[in-house]
Amino acid sequence: MLSPAIFIFFVFKDRLAFRFVLLTAAFFLFGNLTASSLRAFDDIYIYRYLVWAITDIIWMALIAYWGIKDKVYLWQCVIGQLVVIGAPILQLFRLVDRHLWDLAYSTVIYQTLMPFINIATVVVCYLPLIILFTKQGSVRSKIENSPPSK
């Protein structure tokens, strides 16, 4: 889902958005490649949630660091942090629930919110594209509405 964003930001030479999307895609790819082996290894349902929570926290730390160092858009960094903060909380909630509480509704919460968090993260990756097209549209309208030159 992020391949078009990687290509578009590379072509438009938007390095800040390109870095954000590339890092996010790398973490999604890592999660996808390790998920099946992690599930096979973790028959007691502990390590998968810890690894996934740590992975999300590492992503957040890298994005925050890059946001501070102006390597990604600060506004995109903040929105990304606000979206993803729910993921490690949900992972750890699921871990505690499976082994201590055994709540009936936690599975529904986890299975509903995690896809929404992932989708929202992808949407955050595409936000600079919306701003890019909005700026181009406003520049185009200013040119069209400007008085003719003499």
Residue bearing tokens 């998920």: 35
Task: Return the pLDDT at 125.
Answer: 95
What is the number of structural domains in the chain?
1
CA quadruple 89, 91, 97, 102: dihedral, nearest 10: 130
pTM: predicted TM-score of the whole model, two decimal places? 0.84
Looking at residue 146, its pLDDT comes to 54
Flag whether 148 is in a domain: no
Place of tokens 């999660």: 31
- Residue 59 lies inside a defined structural domain of this protein: yes
Average pLDDT on 21-42 reads: 92
Is 100 a member of any domain? Answer: yes
List the domain range (segments joined by +) for residue 56. Answer: 3-136
Higher pLDDT, 131 or 105: 131
Q: What is the pLDDT of residue 102?
A: 75
Q: Where are the alpha helices (DSSP H) in the chain?
A: 3-11, 15-41, 47-68, 74-84, 86-96, 106-145
The answer, yes or no, to whether residue 69 has pLDDT greater than 60, is: yes
How far is 130 from 135, CA to CA, in rounded Å? 9
